[in-house]
Structure 1
Amino acid sequence: MAISARNVFEGTVTALTPGAVNAELVIGTAGGVGIVATVTMQSVETLGLELGRKAVAIVKSPSVIVVAGTPGYRFSARNQLAGTVAAISAGAVNSEVGIDVGGVLVQAVITNHAIAELGLSIGAPATAIFKAGSVIVGVAV
């Protein structure tokens, strides 16, 4: 599968909580990272989502918020993946920041101004944050 999104997490469904309209599920990666997604109950049925099913979680890099150091706040976003900055690819206005989270690389696109203000550098602690509703779930056909 070729896709333009930078973050494609392969794994299996490790938790599935159905609701009246939506379901919350967790896709666990081989590295032990759990990605929380919210999908409609119709998507659960259409995709055949169930515990143990292989699936991918896809997140576009502009949807990822970067927090430097140890957050002094609590956030409502279900995905809060703490790690260290592994790569910074500078652009004219924005840069791509790769955060290593237990061997899984999470990519974010943020402004160069934000990188400077946050003091981001290779090896610095950082947390990648994104909402469960920003996660697209896919399965092999």
Structure 2
Amino acid sequence: MNLSAKNQFKGTITNITEGVVTGIVTVDIGGGNIVTSSITMDSIKSLDLKVGKEVVALVKASNVMIGLND
């Protein structure tokens, strides 16, 4: 499968925080780096996501904001 999201990070799910409609999936992509994703509970269940499962985090960002603390 070819995707327009070129930032693809292999990692392992370290936590899933379930909500009513959406959940937060935490993925360790190595080197001390963590990626989190908010996805629907339906997707979490249909993909059978579980802690310890190896996944690929796909990042597609059309806007990147930079800020400074005052």
TM-score in terms of structure 2 length: 0.84
Q: Deviations over 1:59-103 (max 9, x none)?
A: 11424x1427xx316xxxxxxxxxxxxxxxxxxxxxxxxxxxxxx
The CA RMSD over aligned residues, in Å, is 1.8
Q: Distance in 1 between matches of 2:39 and 2:21?
A: 9
1:14 lines up with 2:11 in the alignment: no
CA distance in 2, matches of 1:31, 1:37: 18
Work out the CA distance in 2 between the residues paired with 1:43 and 1:52.
Answer: 17
Paired residues, what number? 70
Instruction: Tell me: higher relative CO, structure 1 or 2? Use CA pairs within 8 A at least 6 residues apart.
Output: 2
User: Identity over the aligned pairs, expressed in percent?
Assistant: 33
Shift, 1:16, TM fit:
0.6
Query: What 5-or-longer segments of structure 1 have no aligned partner?
Result: 74-141
Bigger share in helix: 1
Rg bigger for which structure?
Answer: 1
Unaligned runs of 5+ in 2: none
Q: Which runs of 4+ in 1 moved over 3 A?
A: none
